Amino acid sequence: MYWDPAYETLPREDMAKLQLSRLQKLAELVYNNVEFYRRKFDELKVKPSDIKSLDDIRRLPFTTKDDLRDNYPYKMFSSSLDDVVRIHASSGTTGKPTVVGYTRVDVDIWAETMARSFTAAGLTHRDIIQNAFGYGLFTGGLGAHYGIEKIGASVVPVSGGNSKRQIMFLKDFGCTGICCTPSYAASLLDAARDEGVDLRKLPVRAGLFGAEPWSVQMRREIEEGWGMTATDIYGLSEIIGPGVSFECPQAQRGLHVNEDHFYPEVIDPDTSEVLPAGEKGELVFTTITKEAIPLIRFRTRDISSIDSSPCSCGRTLIKMNKVFGRTDDMLIIRGVNVFPSQIEEVLLANSGLLPYYQIVVDKKGALDTVEVLVEVAEDLFVTDEIRKLQQREELLEKSIKSNVGITAKVRLVEPKTIHRSEGKAQRVIDKRERFV
């Protein structure tokens, strides 16, 4: 049930003590080894020895993705490159990628946090797990790989893509677990249908999905289509990769943060003020055990909140709520803030619609326009007359208006017209960017 009960169920007071001593060591480490942090600490007139309580973390500087880019590739590293055994990088769309390194200890910690996540999802050494997260510089593939090996399960390192082969392996290898992005899990549903394979009849019983926001409706689609329990796993390369937090199936309400390694805070993204538990804001993490590239108060741009209520699973690790979206993915439509996952929620709450959609944002004169393209199930597309399809579109438009607060044009499209994702899905096409 737990991978590491000593830490996963550590009494709260002991966790706080552990976090404080780790934070104190971290402050010393970065102050002595990273020019960037020494400068920031000096600017803020704070010394590592000023950290006397966990609340003193608020005296420390934030770190942003731009700081990592500005210090490309190794200037944020705390350890010597001689001790680094792995390098990953995020594929930023603009500018230089962000580069992260791992010592042997970091890789072990990562495997440990991933082992906790797989165990919480109900998987054990008896399972065969297809790892369809992309292998390479992206942290999904190798992160999951080490966690699966750690729990002693068999890993099938298939990586993302080639859906036909994925379906064949799932079937022939008797896989009992799967991990990939939720949008790829949805794509595989479609690929299986094409192959005449009913995924519900396969032995797959648990899946871990993450690397992008996904709504509860998407979870339901995946669970029903695959006949399995789908759990959420969250993380980001700068902090470690996947395994920063994980869901326990008993609750499916929030993700336990591996807070003996990653100290969470939620801040108001505009004022940088720390928000109390329960309030939605930007997640910030401090890596309190990382060696190669420890980061202080890294601003994730992910929107969530902390849930400090006790969990029925017995873990004392604090929880964060499912990530709603990223501040940089938030669309501002005629002054209304919208996250793509809110639109996904409305779409998938309707039967007959498939989990393949795209949101196209444009400008007509001075006004923003939104068009939502979503696929309809084959049978409806064939049997529904045009008028009925139009009625469905109108109902969806009304529902988006009342639930999300924006006016959008909905267009039901034929099955297989929307691009299928193999990794992180691109849900939004923002044509307004050319006006910027």
User: Residue 107: CB partners within 8 Å, gap ≥ 6?
Assistant: 85, 86, 146
Beta bridge partners of 87: 101
DSSP assigned state of 62? P
248 near ligand DLL, rule: CB under 6 A: no
* Interface stretch with ligand DLL, choices 66-74, 114-122, 164-172, 211-219 (CB under 6 A): 211-219
User: Residue 382: CB partners within 8 Å, gap ≥ 6?
Assistant: none
Output the smallest distance, CB 297 to ligand DLL, in A: 15
207 near ligand DLL, rule: CB under 6 A: no
* Interface stretch with ligand DLL, choices 35-43, 229-237, 270-278, 395-403 (CB under 6 A): 229-237
The residue (of 62 and 381) whose beta carbon lies closer to ligand DLL is 62
Determine the 3-state secondary structure of 188 from DSSP: helix
146 near ligand DLL, rule: CB under 6 A: no
Q: What tokens were used for 120?
A: 């919480």
What's the angle, vertex CA 217, arms to CA 213 and CA 222, rounded to 5?
Answer: 85
* Interface stretch with ligand DLL, choices 14-22, 152-160, 234-242, 358-366 (CB under 6 A): 234-242
Per CB under 6 A, the list member of 31, 102, 118, 133 interacting with ligand DLL is 133
139 near ligand DLL, rule: CB under 6 A: yes
210 near ligand DLL, rule: CB under 6 A: yes
232 near ligand DLL, rule: CB under 6 A: yes
Output the smallest distance, CB 90 to ligand DLL, in A: 5
> Of the candidates 207, 245, 224, 188, which has an alpha carbon nearest to the alpha carbon of residue 123?
207
183 near ligand DLL, rule: CB under 6 A: no
Residues 295 and 179: their CA atoms lie apart, in Å, by 27
Half-sphere exposure of 76 (CA within 13 A, CB side): 25
> Of the candidates 370, 278, 351, which has an alpha carbon nearest to the alpha carbon of residue 319?
278
On whether the CB atoms of residues 175 and 158 are closer than 8 A, the answer is no
140 near ligand DLL, rule: CB under 6 A: yes
CB atoms within 10 A of CB 419: 11
Residues 147 and 144: their CA atoms lie apart, in Å, by 5
> Of the candidates 384, 368, 373, 379, which has an alpha carbon nearest to the alpha carbon of residue 430?
368
259 near ligand DLL, rule: CB under 6 A: no
The residue (of 78 and 215) whose beta carbon lies closer to ligand DLL is 215
Which residues from 83-122 bind ligand DLL, rule CB under 6 A? 90
**Amino acid found at 17:** K
* Interface stretch with ligand DLL, choices 74-82, 162-170, 227-235, 264-272 (CB under 6 A): 227-235
The residue (of 177 and 241) whose beta carbon lies closer to ligand DLL is 241
212 near ligand DLL, rule: CB under 6 A: yes
Output the smallest distance, CB 202 to ligand DLL, in A: 22
> Of the candidates 94, 40, 97, 93, which has an alpha carbon nearest to the alpha carbon of residue 63?
40
Residues 106 and 294: their CA atoms lie apart, in Å, by 10
326 near ligand DLL, rule: CB under 6 A: yes
213 near ligand DLL, rule: CB under 6 A: yes
237 near ligand DLL, rule: CB under 6 A: yes
Cis-peptide, bond into residue 73, ω within 30° of zero:
yes
The residue (of 247 and 368) whose beta carbon lies closer to ligand DLL is 247
262 near ligand DLL, rule: CB under 6 A: no
The residue (of 185 and 361) whose beta carbon lies closer to ligand DLL is 185
On whether the CB atoms of residues 179 and 155 are closer than 8 A, the answer is no
User: Residue 310: CB partners within 8 Å, gap ≥ 6?
Assistant: 316
258 near ligand DLL, rule: CB under 6 A: no
Determine the 3-state secondary structure of 222 from DSSP: helix
Per CB under 6 A, the list member of 153, 211, 331, 406 interacting with ligand DLL is 211
Output the smallest distance, CB 321 to ligand DLL, in A: 10
Site residues (vs ligand DLL, CB under 6 A) = 90, 133, 138-140, 210-213, 232-237, 241-242, 300, 302, 323, 326
